[in-house]
């Protein structure tokens, strides 16, 4: 099993505060890792550090074989990131937005419709401005934006937020399919039930460090 | 690279087309600025005629600054900057694409303001070629400067007030050169209008080169 994320004694600072304080974690290909922990323990910071959006101050950090201390931009083309925010252009129609996102990550335009259908965005909404969608529908479009890029590493921050029961189930299926086809998924979530149904490993952070690991690789 | 530039520009133009901010709000605001100046200098129509070139560029500066703010607002809103960083689009393409989008919107603004100064300020155009060249150079300079400084302001909480504070001093030479070139084109100043117009192209080229070289760093740090 190849290592996708390898953090050794990683320290990262945001706003003068050490958000990652010597984090050690190794994640291998095909895992679905559920990140848990109270607010402010470093879950989002860990995801952003993996995506190269948060600079590593100390320690060794490798993602998809790229040393983040040397180059934190190169691995991004293989990563799909969904943060607390949806990264949506609210004035664009659903389909226009997704076509733009597909082009921006070098994905196939033919995958746009498939991604929207997979996540359950009804066809009647494809030509509707995103600002008119409900919070749950927007979250689905945001997930479709990640899905269309076929990332090797999925970094998801509270992906189930605003989704209804059906949406959650569809997302879980998508994550399982992605992992079974060789992608790796790291998702931060407060949902306790999630671990049993979807994730292969539960990691708990505390104070910017690894606190508990249900099954280290 | 051209494909990436067009992708960004078309996305920005599509966002503007859907929101109708440029034509629905910024252009009327620019016209209002011209009308306010017309009222302010009403007693002296000769003064209006003499200052028409400068007043045109002041209106462009006001309206254009709003367009640049809007162009970066759609990126900072809902975390779109992160999506930009995660995309495969290269930073110079992002810079040029945003600049092209702004350029086209400012041209639209100028197409509204141009007839405005002719009608309100009783302007007569002596040299159309110089007028068009100066408008092109000034708009190019405005667009690339605006995007370069816009991305710097975009990452701050005070971006709405910071951007004009950064832009106005930077664009002062463009404002001056544009005014002088337009005054020559209007026949109210016998000066080297083409030299002023050329200066704007030089400013645009320098800022374009700096923007293409630094936009990636600025995007990461914003």
Domains delineated in chain A:
3-213 (3.40.50.300)
Q: What is the pLDDT of residues A147-204, one digit of tens each?
A: 998 899 999 998 888 888 888 888 888 999 999 999 999 999 877 666 567 888 888 8
Helix (H, G, I), strand (E, B) or coil at B43: coil
Residue range A86-99: mean pLDDT, rounded: 91
Nearest to B79 among A83, A90, A129 (CB): A83
Contacts of A53 in chain B (CB under 8 A): 82, 85-86
Phi, psi of B136 (to 5 degrees): -65, -50
| Cross-chain residue pair B7–A87, CB shorter than 8 Å | no
Q: What is the pLDDT of residues A33-50, one digit of tens each?
A: 989 888 888 889 999 999
Among A10-14, A117-121, A182-186, A209-213, the least confident range: A209-213
pLDDT of residue B5: 93
CA distance A184 to A99: 24
| Cross-chain residue pair A81–B86, CB shorter than 8 Å | yes
Q: Which of residues 77-136 of B touch A (CB under 8 A)?
A: 77-80, 82-89
Residue A197 to chain B, least CA–CA distance (Å): 29
Tell me the residues of A at the B interface, defined by beta carbons under 8 Å apart.
Answer: 51, 53, 73, 76-77, 79-81, 83-93, 96, 100-101, 103-106, 129, 145
Residue A172 to chain B, least CA–CA distance (Å): 23
Query: Taking CA atoms, what residue in B is nearest to A104?
Result: B87
Please report, for chain B, the start and end positions of each structural domain, with discontinuous segments joined by +: 2-221
Contacts of A141 in chain B (CB under 8 A): none
pLDDT of residue A217: 46
Contacts of A83 in chain B (CB under 8 A): 79, 82
**High-pLDDT (> 70) share of chain A, %:** 96
Residue A135: Cβ within 10 Å count: 11
- Chain A interface test: which of B86, B156, B219 (most A C-beta within 10 Å): B86
Q: Which two tokens stand for residue A73?
A: 């931009």
Residue B83 to chain A, least CA–CA distance (Å): 6
- Chain A interface test: which of B11, B21, B71, B83 (most A C-beta within 10 Å): B83
pLDDT of residue A104: 87
| Cross-chain residue pair A100–B11, CB shorter than 8 Å | yes
Distances (CA, A) of A143 to A106, A163, B71: 17, 11, 24
Nearest to B88 among A77, A83, A96 (CB): A77
Phi, psi of A106 (to 5 degrees): 70, 25
Rounded to two decimals, what is the model's pTM?
A: 0.87
pLDDT of residue A1: 59
pLDDT of chain B, 222 residues: tens digit per residue: 888 999 999 999 999 888 887 778 888 888 898 888 888 877 677 788 888 888 999 999 989 998 998 888 888 888 888 888 888 888 899 999 999 999 999 999 999 999 988 888 888 888 899 999 999 999 999 999 999 988 888 777 777 778 888 888 889 999 999 999 998 988 887 778 889 999 999 999 999 999 999 888 888 876
Q: A62 or A190, which is more confident? A: A62
Query: Taking CA atoms, what residue in B is nearest to A51?
Result: B86
What stretches of B77-127 show up as alpha helix (H) in DSSP? Answer: 80-86, 91-121
Residue B197 to chain A, least CA–CA distance (Å): 36
Nearest to B18 among A53, A77, A91 (CB): A91
| Cross-chain residue pair B78–A83, CB shorter than 8 Å | no
Query: Taking CA atoms, what residue in B is nearest to A79?
Result: B86
Nearest to B88 among A92, A93, A105 (CB): A105
Nearest to B82 among A87, A90, A101 (CB): A87
């Amino acid at each position: 099993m190849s290592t996708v994320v390898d953090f050794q004694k990683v320290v990262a600072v945001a706003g003068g505060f050490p958000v990652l304080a010597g984090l050690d974690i190794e994640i291998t290909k095909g895992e679905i890792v559920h990140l848990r922990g109270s607010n402010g323990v470093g879950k989002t910071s860990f995801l952003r550090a993996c995506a190269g959006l948060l600079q590593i101050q100390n320690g060794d950090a490798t993602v998809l074989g790229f040393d983040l201390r040397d180059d934190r931009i190169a691995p991004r083309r293989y990563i799909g990131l969904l943060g607390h925010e949806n990264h949506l252009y609210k004035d664009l129609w659903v389909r226009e937005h997704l076509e733009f996102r597909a082009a921006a990550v070098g994905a196939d335009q033919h995958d746009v419709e498939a991604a929207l259908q997979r996540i359950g965005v009804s066809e009647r909404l494809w030509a509707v401005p995103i600002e008119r969608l409900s919070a749950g529908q927007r979250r689905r479009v945001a997930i479709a934006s990640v899905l269309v890029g076929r990332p090797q590493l999925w970094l998801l921050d509270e992906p189930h937020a605003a989704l209804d029961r059906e949406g959650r189930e569809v997302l879980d299926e998508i994550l399982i399919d992605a992992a079974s086809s060789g992608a790796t998924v790291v998702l931060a979530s407060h949902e306790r039930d999630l671990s049993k149904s979807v994730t292969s490993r539960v990691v708990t952070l505390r104070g910017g460090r690894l606190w508990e690991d249900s099954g280290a690789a | 690279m051209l494909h990436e530039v067009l992708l960004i520009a078309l996305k920005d133009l599509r966002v503007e087309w859907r929101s109708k901010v440029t034509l629905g709000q910024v252009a009327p605001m620019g016209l209002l600025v011209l009308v306010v100046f017309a009222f302010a200098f009403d007693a002296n129509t000769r003064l209006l005629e003499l200052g028409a070139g400068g007043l045109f560029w002041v209106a462009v500066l006001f309206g254009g600054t709003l367009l640049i703010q809007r162009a970066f607002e759609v990126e900072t809103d809902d975390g779109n900057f992160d999506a930009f960083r995660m995309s495969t689009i290269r930073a110079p393409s992002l810079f040029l694409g945003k600049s092209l989008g702004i350029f086209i919107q400012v041209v639209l603004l100028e197409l509204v303001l141009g007839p405005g100064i002719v009608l309100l300020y009783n302007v007569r155009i002596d040299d159309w070629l110089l007028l068009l060249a100066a408008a092109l150079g000034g708009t190019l300079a405005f667009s690339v400067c605006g995007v370069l400084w816009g991305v710097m302001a975009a990452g701050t909480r005070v971006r709405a007030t910071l951007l004009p504070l950064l832009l106005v001093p930077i664009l002062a030479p463009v404002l001056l050169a544009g005014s002088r070139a337009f005054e020559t084109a209007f026949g109210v100043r016998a000066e080297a209008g083409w030299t002023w117009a050329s200066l704007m192209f030089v400013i645009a080229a320098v800022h374009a080169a700096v923007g293409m070289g630094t936009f990636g760093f600025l995007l990461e740090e914003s």
